[in-house]
Chains A and B, each alone.
Chain A
Amino acid sequence: MLADNTPKQAVFKAAKAIWRSFPILFGAMLLVALANTLIPKAAYGYVFFKNAILDSFIGSAVGSVLAGNPITSYIIGGELLAQGISMTAVTAFLVAWVTVGMVQLPAESILLGKRFAITRNIAAFVFSILAAIITTAILGVL
Chain B
Amino acid sequence: MRKSETSRAGWWFLLVVILVYLLVGLIKPAVIFPSLIFLGGIFLKIWWVFLFVFVLLSFLNYYVQPKHVYKYLGKSSGAKGWMMAIVGGIISTGPIYVWYPLLNELQKHGTRNGLIVAFLYTRAIKPALLPLLIFYFGLTYTVVLTIVMIVLSVIQGIIVEKLIEVEK
Contact = CB atoms under 8 A, between A and B. Distances in A.
Given A10-B62, A21-B101, A23-B13, A112 B133 contact: no
B62 A7 contact: yes
Nearest to B66: A3
Contacts of A130: 152
Nearest to B57: A14
A135 B41 CA distance: 34
A77 B123 CA distance: 18
Interface string B14-37: 101110110010001001001110
B124 A98 contact: yes
A35 to B, nearest CB: 9
A71 interface: yes
Interface in A80-132: 81, 87, 91, 94-95, 98-99, 101, 104, 106-108, 110-116, 119-120, 123-124, 127, 130-131
Nearest to A4: B65
Nearest to B36: A33
Interface residues of A, number: 70
B79 interface: no
A47 interface: no
Interface in B34-72: 34-36, 38-39, 42-43, 50, 53-55, 57-65
Contacts of A53: none
Interface string A1-27: 111110101110111011011111111
A135 B62 contact: no
B115 to A, nearest CB: 12
Given A37-B34, A116-B116, A120-B160, 19 more contacts: A1-B63, A3-B63, A14-B54, A14-B60, A20-B10, A20-B101, A23-B11, A30-B35, A32-B95, A34-B21, A34-B31, A38-B24, A71-B132, A74-B137, A94-B124, A98-B123, A114-B1, A131-B152, A135-B145
